[in-house]
Amino acid sequence: MAVQCPYCGKGYDITLFEFGRDVRCVCGKTVAFRHEQIMDAANRACSVEDARVREVCGMADRIASLIVASDYPMIDIEIEKKKLQERISEFFPDKEYLYELIYEPRFRRLREQFRESGIDSNGSEV
């Protein structure tokens, strides 16, 4: 994270401001950045990620509910699963593999358990 001088806009690494230190900018002004500002920035970043996690969990729970407690067509559920997978890729590009690791087995198990009568040996709806 960079801290910018309010006068000239030059950026400084946040680690230069540890322990309440101030930095003298190349323009001659003093740049100050306090621990509270660091914590506020960190909290904002966490709240964005928390919101993304909640959205992904909500989408997954909705899909599970559609599988278990509705007569929603499986083709439409597959579309919803694809939307979830795309959202995970958008929010967490370095963790795309978690969809296949966590959600796909969950959905498959729910499908087998609650919609078993309509599934053939290949896992396709009949």
Kindly report, residue by residue over 91-105, the tens digit of the pLDDT: 999 999 989 999 999
CB neighbours of residue 10 within 10 Å: 15
Average pLDDT estimate for 28-34:
79
* Lowest mean pLDDT segment, chosen from 69-78, 80-89, 112-121: 112-121
Nearest CA-CA partner of 69 in 123, 110, 109, 116: 110
pTM for the model = 0.59
Residue 121 confidence (pLDDT) above 50: no
Bridge partners for 32 per DSSP: 22
Whether residue 26 contacts residue 9, with contact meaning beta carbons closer than 8 Å, is answered with no
Q: Kindly list the distances between the CA atom of residue 89 and the CA atoms of 10, 12, 49, 84, 102, in Å, as whole numbers in the listed order.
A: 34, 31, 14, 9, 14
